[in-house]
Structure 1
Amino acid sequence: MRIVLGVGGGIAAYKVASLLRLFTEAGHNVTVIPTEASTRFVGSATWEALSGNPVSNSVFDDVHQVNHVRLGHEADLVVVAPATADLLAKAATGQAGDLLTNTLLMAHGPVLFAPAMHTEMWQHAATRANVETLRGRGAAVLEPATGRLTGADSGPGRLPEPEAIFAAAMALVEGRQDFQLPLAGRTITISAGGTREPLDPVRFLGNRSSGKQGVALAVAARNAGANVRLLAAHMEVPPPAGVEVVQVETALQMREAALAAAADSDVVIMSAAVADFRPAEVSDTKIKKRDDRTDPVITLVRNPDILLELVELRNSTVRGEGHQLIVGFAAETGDSDGDVLAHAEAKLQRKGCDLLVVNHVGTDKVFGQDTTSVVILARSGSEPQEASGTKTEVSAAIISRIAFELNAVSPRA
């Protein structure tokens, strides 16, 4: 696929190098057109080296090839990132002062703008009108992410992560309606992996969790445009790029991190396998075998119920229930008292979370595997939703359901 990648003059231009890499590694032929202002942030040599194509922003370069007409005609996709307030205004009013704005006027294929600017600029009536004008003409304009901006400010206006822009671009080309990032501007906290409860300096009580599901959820949420915070216990897979990572080890550390992270989160997903119990005492020295062959006695105590605390904390705030979506995970096995879903339904009512993702677990199921099968239960009583396949596919289904629930209860203004 032939892609034109327009680069606007904002500090976020450095992130676009990663977006370019994603396009080229996927096999696409990319021509980069930086604005003159953007070259103050990232030079043309960088774009040429990464794309393998010559770079220009002037209509007077290679005049014999009529680039100001040809590039737009030939492009299967045009992506502009960062799309500054200035660029959006020029595109909306049909200006053609450089090679990029000429190319936008000549584009026959889909056009995707990924805005990045200060919050007040994004929320200004002029910018909003320009965005609506572009959307009305058929261009795709993503919602910016919310987060740290230039300097100490924070708010909506941050460039979405390169992976999210890439996912939106591919969806747009494929004609899918989900190109608009459904979680843009939302903050999601996800716990992943298995906690380890120390017994002595070399031993711990742990579980079989690999962290694969939590990482897949983080990727899916990031690709849906969310600002993702990953509370990472022990994991056998690395955390994904483009997310904030908070390392924890024990259930108590997970509790502290989760309660702190919940304060600014629109969604909290507790997918980590948090130990239910921990040793009552932790030895300062390695516990050794005794000469008299007596066995050590290890007393366990309960760990806090983090999911329940998160629900209680959410419900006790001024805004109360409804302003934050809380998702729990249940790794269940059937027994003489009931099957997996019976135990899960009881847990959902007991915990009070909004959604519960249920796994049927065992020594050869779920833990460490690349495929899984889940049932999503809702406290609202809606019909249970099944999802199966790779953990990537299942995570996409879970994030899609979360986006639906979140936007239904608390739509963006």
Structure 2
Amino acid sequence: MTRVVVGVGGGIAAYKSCNLVRRFTETGHEVRVIPTESALNFVGKATFEALSGHPVHTGVFADVPEVPHVRLGQEADLVVIAPATADLMARAAQGRADDLLTATLLTARCPVLFAPAMHTEMWDHPATRANVATLRAHGAVVLEPASGRLTGTDTGPGRLPEPEEIFGLARLLLERADALPRDLEGRRIVVSAGGTREPLDPVRFLGNRSSGKQGYALARLAAQRGAQVTLIAGNTIGLEAPAAVEVVHVTTAEQLKVAVDKHALGADAVVMAAAVADFRPTNVAAAKIKKGAGEPDSIVLAKTPDILAGLVNARRDGQLPGTAIVGFAAETGDEHADVLTHARAKLARKGCDLLVVNAVGEGKAFEVDTNDGWLLGADGTEIALDHGSKALLASRVLDALGPLLR
């Protein structure tokens, strides 16, 4: 059983840490909660004890024979601080050990993740920026905060990412401790996600089973690795916008093409993870098609634009100089060839730099939280992507993308 320490700073977002603790315990982790004294002004000790099943202390003199200020850090497989206030990060950056949480941070040798939450002015202050840089230099992961409603009527960067997002990134660090380096600083990356819907009438459409989860994972990780990310999202019902990511919503393949072409200009990379419909109805009824009178004998289809090939052509023509292009292929084998053979032919046909190949089917790739497949390079390299979370697969794709950036 993995041991997770959840540290809670003294900010109004402390109430969200309750959901984070519950997610860890419900998925089989042993959780110890260490709040600061200020945090207990927002959430009581009894709440954290009930959710974690362990006693909660804030000072180094509680339970002295167990030496918790040393033992908890030494035994932890992961430490997550949410919310991480400006004061808490300042003390951690200075190596202070004036309460149980900061002392635990000094003894932890496992991955440490800080999820900041504070007002925009505090997040943007040079002192906070310096402390964040120090923590990252020490090996900690400091997430980019979300933008949105803060305390009172203020809005802006500094909002705590949603607990589910923090949980997903934390779980990724348990799968792969080096999954969130700051290697994409200064880069601009465009990611597409989700399926397109091609209308037949005001009610019906042609679509596919894509949930958008893989594209969202790519956008989320790229942003947390330092990139400026634009996510162009098709059908992604129920997915929260990733923190620190600009989201553009579209519906059809044509709308997706327009948005991708616009945002690709000047981008360092475009990652086409969206499941784009190959065909659309040529005629869209203005009213719902009824059974009986007026029922069509057939539906005539036309090809939708090949967005990936269009990007490659635009680069060849000098419109996207130096832009790295990554495609996705959801494939099945048939009587003619297996998945990889089809994928190799698609890579040669499309001309992109990398092609992520997923074998699809019931319970595979679409509408699930896990994924696997292969990463094919234009240089002939082929890398197997082991089964794991979609965040893990996204981290491997970003690793391969890095060397291709101009």
Aligned pairs for 1:8-19 (under 5 A) are 8-10=9-11, 12-19=13-20
Whole-angstrom CA distance in 2 between matches of 1:5 and 1:310: 44
Give the structure 1 partner of residue 342 of structure 2: 340
Give the structure 2 partner of residue 404 of structure 1: 400
Aligned to 1:50, the other structure's residue is in SS state helix
One-letter identity of the residue aligned with 1:215: K
Q: State the structure with more CA Rg.
A: 1
Task: Note closer, same or farther for the CA distance 1:12–1:316 as it changes in structure 2 (3 Å cut).
Answer: farther
What CA deviation, in whole Å up to 9, does each residue of 1:352-372 have, x standing for no partner?
Answer: x432234677x8897869798
Task: Note closer, same or farther for the CA distance 1:26–1:312 as it changes in structure 2 (3 Å cut).
Answer: same
Aligned to 1:145, the other structure's residue is in SS state coil
Give the structure 1 partner of residue 178 of structure 2: 178
Give the structure 2 partner of residue 278 of structure 1: 280
Give the structure 2 partner of residue 142 of structure 1: 141
What CA deviation, in whole Å up to 9, does each residue of 1:3-25 have, x standing for no partner?
Answer: 43222234554443333223212
Give the structure 2 partner of residue 49 of structure 1: 50
Cα pair 1:192 1:232 within 8 Å, conserved: yes
Aligned to 2:67, the other structure's residue is in SS state helix
Give the structure 1 partner of residue 171 of structure 2: 167
One-letter identity of the residue aligned with 2:97: A
Q: CA deviation at 1:296?
A: 3.9
Aligned pairs for 1:315-330 (under 5 A) are 320-322=320-322, 325-330=324-329
Give the structure 1 partner of residue 64 of structure 2: 66
Q: CA deviation at 1:231?
A: 1.9
Aligned to 1:377, the other structure's residue is in SS state strand
Length, aligned pairs only: 378
Give the structure 1 partner of residue 209 of structure 2: 210
Cα pair 2:230 2:248 within 8 Å, conserved: no
Aligned to 2:178, the other structure's residue is in SS state helix
Aligned pairs for 1:14-413 (under 5 A) are 14-59=15-60, 62=62, 65-66=63-64, 69-75=67-73, 76-77=75-76, 78-105=79-106, 107=107, 109-110=109-110, 112-114=112-114, 116=116, 118-121=123-126, 124-125=129-130, 127-129=132-134, 131-132=136-137, 135=138, 140-145=139-144, 147-148=146-147, 150=150, 151-154=154-157, 161-171=165-175, 177-181=177-181, 189-193=191-195, 195-201=196-202, 203-206=204-207, 209-211=208-210, 214-219=212-217, 222=220, 225=224, 229=231, 231-233=233-235, 239=239, 248-255=250-257, 258=260, 268-285=270-287, 286=289, 296=297, 298-308=299-309, 320-322=320-322, 325-331=324-330, 340-341=342-343, 343-349=345-351, 353-358=352-357, 374-378=373-377, 381-387=378-384, 390=387, 392=388, 396-397=392-393, 399-406=395-402, 409=405
Task: Note closer, same or farther for the CA distance 1:198–1:4 as it changes in structure 2 (3 Å cut).
Answer: closer
Whole-angstrom CA distance in 1 between matches of 2:394 and 2:173: 21
What CA deviation, in whole Å up to 9, does each residue of 1:95-146 have, x standing for no partner?
Answer: 33333234445x36536141526134477445534653xx2xxxx4114226
Q: CA deviation at 1:66?
A: 1.5
Cα pair 1:17 1:50 within 8 Å, conserved: yes
Whole-angstrom CA distance in 1 between matches of 2:346 and 2:364: 16
RMSD: 4.7
Q: CA deviation at 1:148?
A: 1.8
Aligned to 2:193, the other structure's residue is in SS state strand
Whole-angstrom CA distance in 2 between matches of 1:355 and 1:163: 29
Aligned to 1:269, the other structure's residue is in SS state strand
Aligned to 1:56, the other structure's residue is in SS state coil
One-letter identity of the residue aligned with 2:33: V
One-letter identity of the residue aligned with 2:29: H
Q: CA deviation at 1:34?
A: 1.4
Task: Note closer, same or farther for the CA distance 1:67–1:217 as it changes in structure 2 (3 Å cut).
Answer: farther
Cα pair 1:13 1:41 within 8 Å, conserved: yes
Task: Note closer, same or farther for the CA distance 1:298–1:393 as it changes in structure 2 (3 Å cut).
Answer: same
- Normalising by structure 2, what TM-score? 0.69
Give unmatched runs, 5+ long, in structure 2. none
Cα pair 1:80 1:113 within 8 Å, conserved: yes
Whole-angstrom CA distance in 2 between matches of 1:9 and 1:262: 41
Give unmatched runs, 5+ long, in structure 1. none
Cα pair 2:217 2:390 within 8 Å, conserved: no
Aligned to 2:379, the other structure's residue is in SS state coil
Cα pair 2:179 2:395 within 8 Å, conserved: no
What CA deviation, in whole Å up to 9, does each residue of 1:187-216 have, x standing for no partner?
Answer: 6633223x332333555444xx3226x424
Cα pair 1:220 1:396 within 8 Å, conserved: no
Aligned to 1:5, the other structure's residue is in SS state strand
Task: Note closer, same or farther for the CA distance 1:26–1:365 as it changes in structure 2 (3 Å cut).
Answer: closer
Identity %: 36
- Normalising by structure 1, what TM-score? 0.68
Cα pair 2:192 2:233 within 8 Å, conserved: yes
Q: CA deviation at 1:400?
A: 0.7
What CA deviation, in whole Å up to 9, does each residue of 1:327-368 have, x standing for no partner?
Answer: 2224567899xx62564134322xxx432234677x889786
One-letter identity of the residue aligned with 1:190: S
